[in-house]
Structure 1
């Protein structure tokens, strides 16, 4: 069997390393840009949904969110109905950085897909979505404290 997940991991780690280096000047490190982009694109999202979207545990998300808040990139606001719920919103500082993050993401897409036809790109996208959905089943299972059977 081909080592597809290793290839995917190398791609993800390479892009993450590039982003961490390039976004250091904006004081965004260790994948914080992922959180910032999702919050910017989904203003009012709650921490739990954000963690689920990025596929990290709540503690990891909480640390990144706290740091982004301390740096002035995001702010938490109480829900109008349920005061226990804190919604996440981008600040003006985030609005300044977001176009740069978006350009980098678009550039990385173009580089990664260089030489692919539109049809190949569409096929790859759908195949990767299927892979993600398959993995999400195990992620949900393990996240609840279970152990997979190998």
Structure 2
């Protein structure tokens, strides 16, 4: 069987390493750019939704949110109808770095797809979406304490 997940992992780690080095200049620590982008794109999102969106556990979300809030990139606000619910928003500082993060992402996409036709790039995208959807069920099961059947 072809091990595509190894290739996907190497691509992910390489791009994550590059981004982490480049984002030091805007005071973002390892992997934090992803949270800022998703909160910017989904203002008022709650932690559980963010967890599902980026596929990390709630503890990781809580740690990242706390750090980003401390560093002034995001803020938590109480929901107007239920004060127990905390909604996440980017601050002005977060809004100012968003274009830089998106430029880096667009550049990385162009680099990754060099030599691909538009049709091939769309096929890669479609295949990766299918792969992610195949994994979503397992992620949700394990996240809620279940076990996968090997």
User: Do the two structures share a fold, i.e. TM-score over 0.5?
Assistant: yes
When the two structures are superposed, what TM-score results if normalisation uses the length of structure 1?
0.98
Structure 1 residue 80 displacement after superposition: 0.9
1:31-50 residue CA offsets vs partner (Å, 9 max, x unmatched): 00000010111111111101
Paired with 1:74 and 1:83, the residues of 2 have a C-alpha distance of: 18
**Can you list the C-alpha shifts for 1:72-121, whole angstroms capped at 9, x where unaligned?**
00111111111111111111101111110000000000000111111111
The list of structure 1 runs, each at least 4 consecutive aligned residues, that deviate by more than 4 angstroms after superposition, is none
Aligned-partner Cα distance in 1 for 2:40–2:8: 26
Residue 48 of structure 2 is matched in structure 1 by: 48
What do you get for the CA RMSD once the two structures are aligned? 0.7
Equivalent residue number for residue 70 of structure 2: 70
Distance in 2 between residues matched to 1:140 and 1:50, nearest whole Å: 14
Corresponding residue of 1:24 = 24
Structure 2 partner of 1:101: 101
Q: Secondary structure at the match of 2:84?
A: coil
SS of residue paired to 1:76: strand
Alpha-carbon displacement from aligned partner over 1:48-77 (angstroms, at most 9, x marks no partner)? 101111100000000000000000001111
Shift of 1:144: 1.2
Unaligned runs of 5+ in 1: none
Verify: 1:9 aligned to 2:9, yes or no.
Answer: yes
After TM superposition, give the deviation of residue 140 of structure 1 in Å.
Answer: 0.7
Structure 1 residue 13 displacement after superposition: 0.5
- Give TM-score, length-normalised by structure 2: 0.98
SS in 1 for 2:83: coil
Equivalent position of 1:57 in the other structure? 57
Q: Which residue of structure 2 aligns with residue 79 of structure 1?
A: 79
2:116 aligns with: 116
User: 1:140 corresponds to which residue?
Assistant: 140
Q: Which runs of 5+ in 2 are unaligned?
A: none
